[in-house]
Amino acid sequence: MTGRSLGATESRPVIALAGVSVHRRTTGQEIVLDSVDWTVRTGEHWALLGPNGAGKTTMLRLAGALLHPTAGTVDVLGHRLGRVDVRELRARLGLVTAAQKVPLDATAHTVVLTGVTGTVQPLWRMYDADDRERAHDLLAELGCKELAGRAFGDCSGGQRARVLIARALMSEPSLLLLDEPFNALDLPSREDLVDALHRLADGRPGLSTVTVTHHPEELPPSTSHAYLLKEGRELVSGPVDSVLTSENFTRCFGRPIRVEAHDGRWYARSASLPGAERPGA
Ligand SMILES: Nc1ncnc2c1ncn2[C@@H]1O[C@H](COP(=O)(O)OP(=O)(O)OP(=O)(O)O)[C@@H](O)[C@H]1O
């Protein structure tokens, strides 16, 4: 794979944003991100949270080498954006977004295979027996090996999310970026995906992940760090339990919110609801 020529960067941070600002392209004036600093290291699993429009997807796009900052520096896998071939860099990242185009008539196994080439359509001559076997293994790892022969278009939302994550893992990335992977999932599908992400983190110590989400309930227990964004600025970031607190969520969302941790998961609700103020409620 061409991306491997970039060389090993394991000892460095996998993402480093320093003084990063992004201005809105339309006017050049409006600030989408304002002097953001952020470091993600090997084996860390980050959650990016904040209100609509806070800049979460923009931060993920910087980390995915899809966007350059207006000011500041962005290093991904030890390579500075602006000084590296971003196509090579992107080939070493796993990125899953709702904007990804996927042929609905392709089987789940074929969709995973296309992760080798990073293409929408399969390039059959580029895949060997090992790739085919790996695609099956990854579907199994994501808990959906029975979907191998099913058309992607016939998979449920939760199944599609897991197939796309398996696809992203085909290039053996050391960094997996997930933009709202839980969007519109029902409760069992959400829990299956939480389980799958937890197992993934557990079984791959060299993998770092960043997940953009609106709901702390969606975070697997493997989440190690969180970053709360508000109006393009860092409100607070760091180890997950120091960030996912009632005080920080109340400040971030501008209304009383109660956050509780149970059995390694996090739950948020309006603190003005009946019973929310009950001790231990
Ligand atoms: N390319 C662009 N051109 C103009 N405005 C943009 C562009 N990208 C993002 N924005 C604006 O920047 C702000 C941050 O957008 P972003 O998608 O990063 O926020 P978000 O926190 O992911 O929001 P949401 O939770 O709604 O998905 C928004 O006001 C958005 O409209």
Distance 20 CA to ligand 1 centre (A): 15
Predicted pLDDT of residue 2: 36
- Span 9-65, pLDDT tens digits: 444 699 999 999 999 877 656 899 999 999 999 999 999 999 999 999 999 999 999
Q: What is the mean pLDDT of residues 61-89?
A: 94
Sequence-ordered list of residues with C-beta below 8 angstroms from that of 263, at least 6 positions apart, any chain: 221
The ligand 1 atom at the shortest distance from the C-alpha of residue 25 is: 3
The ligand 1 atom at the shortest distance from the C-alpha of residue 32 is: 12
Predicted pLDDT of residue 275: 64
Predicted pLDDT of residue 274: 67
Distance 24 CA to ligand 1 centre (A): 9
The angle at the Cα of 78, spanning 76 to 81, to the nearest 5 degrees, equals 50
Confidence of residue 268 (pLDDT cuts 50, 70, 90): very high
Whether the CB-CB separation of 168 and 92 falls below 8 Å is answered with no
- Span 207-251, pLDDT tens digits: 999 999 999 999 999 999 999 999 999 999 999 999 999 999 999
- Span 133-190, pLDDT tens digits: 999 999 999 989 999 999 999 999 889 999 999 999 999 999 999 999 988 888 998 9
Sequence-ordered list of residues with C-beta below 8 angstroms from that of 132, at least 6 positions apart, any chain: 109, 113
The DSSP code sequence of 42-71 is TT-EEEEE-STTSSHHHHHHHHTTS---SE
Show the beta-strand stretches assigned E in 147-224.
175-179, 208-212
Domains observed in the chain: 13-100+174-270 (3.40.50.300)
Ligand 1 contact via 252 beta carbon (within 6 Å): no
Distance CA 90, CA 86 (A): 6
Residue 77 DSSP label: T
Q: What is the ipTM of this complex?
A: 0.92
Whether the CB-CB separation of 194 and 143 falls below 8 Å is answered with no
